[in-house]
Structure 1
Amino acid sequence: MKGSYLLIIRLGEGKTVRTKGRTFELEPGYYVYVGSAMNSLEKRVARHFRREKKLHWHIDYLLSEAELLRAYLIPSEVKLEEDLSREVSRFGEAIPGFGAGDVKVSTNLYRFEDEPDEILRRILEELGLSWKIVKSQEEIMEIRW
């Protein structure tokens, strides 16, 4: 399945997240990461839930320091990553340069003081998108669309 996804991440305390080429100073709070997987949505998001993996993308480095609470899987034949990122940016604090190397937005990571689910659901509804929420790698494998 093709599509995009939103990861809901909790960072309990401030952290310095170092990737191969960048350093990000992140405050405690909730973070929303916007991504896409135009080959295998389920496999990509399942990978994000795994604790043991090779660190490749910016998000891998953050997830090694934070708690992935849940993910919104958004099936689509069209890449929605930039549109979703722009919508989330209206409500969250942008973390410049995080995970947006292949898109025309400046970031794909946004900080929220409180859990962002109500905002995200409103965005998805306004865009007329369908989604499923998963909380583990095991739940992803059981999804039936």
Structure 2
Amino acid sequence: MKGSYFLIIRLDREKVIRTKGRAFELRPGYYVYVGSAMNSLEKRVARHFRKEKKLHWHIDYLLKEAGLLRAYLIPSEVKLEEKLSLEVSRFGEPVPGFGAGDVKVGTNLYRFDDEPDGTLEGILKGMGLDWKTVKSDEEITEIRW
């Protein structure tokens, strides 16, 4: 299945996240990461839930240090990552340069003081999109569309 996704991440304390070429100073709070997988949405999101993996993307480095609470899988035949990121940017505090190398937005990571689920669901409903929420890689295999 093709589509995009949101990852809901909790960072309990201030942390510097170091990737191969950058360092990001992050404050405690909830973070929403916007991504896409135009080959296998379920496999990409399941990978994010795994603890043991090769560190490749910026998000891998963050997830090594923070808790992944849940993911929203958003099926789509067209790439919506940029549009979704722009919508989330209206509500969350952007982390400049994080994980947006292949899109025209300046970031794909946004910080929130409070849990962002109501905001995200409002965005998805407003865009007329379907989604499923999962809390583990095991739940991904149980998804029925």
Q: Same fold (TM over 0.5)?
A: yes
SS in 1 for 2:59: helix
Let me know the Cα RMSD of the aligned residues. Answer: 0.3
Q: How does 1:1-145 map to 2 (within 5 A)?
A: 1-145=1-145
Partner Cα distance (1:63, 1:38) in 2: 21
Deviation at 1:64, TM superposition (A): 0.1
Partner Cα distance (1:14, 1:43) in 2: 30
Deviation at 1:96, TM superposition (A): 0.2
> Aligned residues, how many?
145
Partner Cα distance (1:143, 1:33) in 2: 21
SS in 2 for 1:64: helix
Deviation at 1:137, TM superposition (A): 0.4
Runs of 4+ in 1 over 2 A off after TM superposition: none
- For residues 40-70 of structure 1, the C-alpha deviation after alignment (integer angstroms, 9 at most, x for no partner) is 0000000000000000000000000000000
Partner Cα distance (2:102, 2:21) in 1: 16
SS in 2 for 1:36: strand
Partner Cα distance (2:22, 2:140) in 1: 31
- For residues 100-140 of structure 1, the C-alpha deviation after alignment (integer angstroms, 9 at most, x for no partner) is 00000000000000000000000000000000000000000
**What letter matches 1:124 in structure 2?**
L
Partner Cα distance (1:14, 1:36) in 2: 27
State the identity as a percent.
81
Unaligned runs of 5+ in 1: none
